[in-house]
A and B are shown apart, each in its own frame.
Chain A
Amino acid sequence: MTWAWGLLLVGPSLGLPQDSIEDLMSRSEVGAALATADQMTAHLDRTSWRVHVLHRAGWLDLALAEARDGLESFPADTNLLDQAGWLAASLSAAELTNDISRRMASVESDELAWTAKMERVAADGRRLSLGAADLRSGLRRAYLACATTLALVLVGLWRLGRS
């Protein structure tokens, strides 16, 4: 039994030791890539690259946890917000995706791609919320069907008992 997720490639557009990390990742040396990211002195670089490496290695939940931690310190960082939006949507976390899309909307950015990214995360949030609403509505219909049938049964028994 497997639930496979699509491989989503989102990388920070930083000009630091990207090549060495990407080289390591291309050789599947994930442990070494993570260690390289850990050596970065700037907190934001370290976080962004850790998120990138964890995401590329397939650890979406670990990457999201790292991104959320990073957003505590850098709440307006557009790169981290974008990464967190991808990850939350990939993990079907509707509320979190919506929350990130609101935070993205409150962040001003000069990046041309930013509007498109915001729209994408907002659309993901809406889609996931619709899925959650479908699930709740299916559950409500099931409860209603069970309750109605049992009520009819009880009424029938009561009528039979009186006849």
Chain B
Amino acid sequence: MGDAPQRRSARWMLVLVACAGAGTMAVELSAVRILAPWFGTSTGVWSNVIGVVLLALALGYYLGGTLARASAPGLQLARVLLLAALGAALTPFLAAPVAGLFLPSDLTLEQLTPLLHWGSLATSLLLFLPTALALGCVCPLALEIICRAGGGSAGNAGGRILAWSTLGGLVGTFATTHLAVPNLGLRLTLLLAAAILGLPGLLLYLVRNGPRREPALFIVALPLLALAPVRLGNAPPAGWEVLEERLSALQNLRVVKRADTDLRLLQVNEGLDSFQSVWQPQAGLLPTGYYYNYFAAPAWWSRARGQWNVLLLGAGAGTAARVISGCLPQGATAAFVGVELDPVVLELGRRWFDLDSPAQATDSMEAVVGDARAALQALGREGRRFDQIVLDAYANQSEIPAHLTSLEFFREARDCLGENGWMMANVGAFGLADPLVEAVGHTLATAFQRPVLALRVPFARNVILVARPQDQAPEPGSESWPVRALAEILGPLEVPGTWRWLDPLDEAPLTDDRSPTEMLQARSLELGWQL
């Protein structure tokens, strides 16, 4: 073989491995999003998906090496690419039946926690292992073809293949997360990945094996799959109707409405019985059991007059703002800065949750897209000070991001509070002795150098932490505690055992360096069900 055909063959193989790299990352990143409606996107689910893909790639490399001994590695390469394409294209159709094998219906999010880990592992193995295994075969086969064509030493060819495969993966990573999933949706993203893998595989098949009927089916099947109806994600709970569903770059979102009332919820990923934001037609206190109600108390305790400045870290669709704005003391107006990581949440908030329309015409909402910690630092640098900071940021439904529970974060928050300011944090927990509440509460107390009040929310599994930089929060049952306008929510907290103080410690349990929040949350769920 002459030099030119060798170079052409090598270049062709490098294009193929780049496509395989891009396809691998598209499948892996889509895999997490495909599983999200059932199992969420917690660190455990990510670990399962990455683990399965790594296992499949390792097996694929081994299998590819064995297939490379065959007399026609080109044909084998075409077959594995077509198989991988088929796997990617069928994944959206198989997701619901496979995930449904492991998840019983009608159980709550925390009851299902053990299944979220094992179920996501089993579903990942069944759904993604075959596709990723086929993709793993690509590099060894391509290497064999280049070496047989005399395209240099194994080391040289291997280096080029790894470089192109990794570059393809890089492009696949960014394109999937930032372009394909938000704009095309999951099904079309996976079909696009199937096309990127399948079309070069098809060409290679035709070149190596001559015209055949079987691969032509692929050309017909792909558009048909694109048109076929498929529902990704679990159905809304009985009695709820879906108003809008969106895929953002970060999560799957759904706005649902109860058929018999005007109550709307924003659900994220696995959702189940939990939600991110809630809306009712009238602003102000929500029905019993919604923790947002407690964010209204500081303005009353401070006897606010004039402008009450509130920073919402994890603003969601604006529920906390509507609650606070709807029950401010007379003579007070609220100016909110709401920080939310996901811009699509803000879009949905504007459309369905009156995000930009707080209860009073004089109140204002400045919605900011960004990370809560980065936004807090930026506001601090600008010299902005707030009367109240509300931390209500969750990742993956049930995990408070570690960087928002550290000593350093709470110190930054303290520096952004006015002298008589209030810091409130929502912690999903089973009680006041919950390990997560203790860790976050003691960290907050250590940062503020004052005891922190922990309040259990009745009819809910949430604890609200209250801290002040210059003073202590009023003790339930004390003279400064009751507020007539909020008696409905503050009264139940006069019961002994429904609140406690958490003191500053010499050493904060959670820091930027060491923050085992995921472990604490797992322990919290474990203890919570030992009734």
**Interface, chain A (partner B; CB < 8 A):** 1-5, 7, 27-32, 34, 53-54, 57-62, 64, 91-93, 96, 131, 134-135, 137-139, 141-143, 145-146, 149-150, 153, 156-157, 160, 163
Contacts and interface: CB of A to CB of B under 8 A. Distances in A.
Interface in B451-494: 456-462, 476-477, 487-494
A138 B104 contact: yes
Interface residues on B, range: 35 or more
Given A138-B115, A142-B115, A31 B289 contact: no
Nearest to B115: A138
Interface stretch (B117-125, B339-347, B359-367, B375-383): B117-125
B118 A142 contact: yes
A2 B289 contact: yes
B531 A96 contact: yes
A60 B288 CA distance: 14
Interface in B476-531: 476-477, 487-495, 497-498, 531
Interface string B341-361: 000000000000000000000
Interface of A is mostly: helix
B63 interface: yes
A7 B288 contact: yes
Interface of B is mostly: loop
B531 A61 contact: yes
A163 B112 CA distance: 44
B495 A3 contact: no
Contacts of B278: 2
A138 B477 contact: no
A52 to B, nearest CB: 13
B104 A4 contact: no
B109 interface: yes
Nearest to A90: B459
Interface stretch (B170-178, B191-199, B269-277, B409-417): B269-277
B397 A1 contact: yes
9 contacts: A2-B274, A2-B291, A7-B289, A27-B491, A31-B494, A139-B118, A142-B115, A146-B118, A160-B66
B491 A30 contact: yes
B498 A27 contact: no
Contacts, number: 148
B273 A58 contact: no
B54 interface: no
Contacts of A157: 59, 62
B102 interface: yes
Contacts of A60: 459
Contact of A28 (B63, B111, B487): B487
Contacts of B169: none
Nearest to A144: B122
B103 interface: yes
Contacts of A57: 458, 491-492, 495
Contacts of B121: 142, 146
A160 B62 contact: yes
A28 B488 contact: yes
A54 B498 CA distance: 10
A141 B102 contact: yes
B111 A135 contact: yes
Given A1-B276, A57-B491, 4 more contacts: A2-B462, A3-B461, A138-B103, A149-B125
Contacts of B101: 138, 141, 145
B211 interface: no
B290 A142 contact: no
Contact of A3 (B62, B103, B274, B489): B274
Interface string B277-296: 01000000001111100000
A51 to B, nearest CB: 12
Contacts of B108: 3, 92
Contacts of A4: 287, 289-290, 459-460
B458 A2 contact: no
Nearest to B531: A93
A162 B114 CA distance: 38
B495 A62 contact: yes
Contact of A58 (B122, B288, B477, B497): B288
Given A2-B289, A135-B115, A58 B492 contact: yes
Nearest to A64: B531
A92 B430 CA distance: 14
Contacts of B460: 2-5
Interface string B202-226: 0000000000000000000000000
A149 B112 CA distance: 23
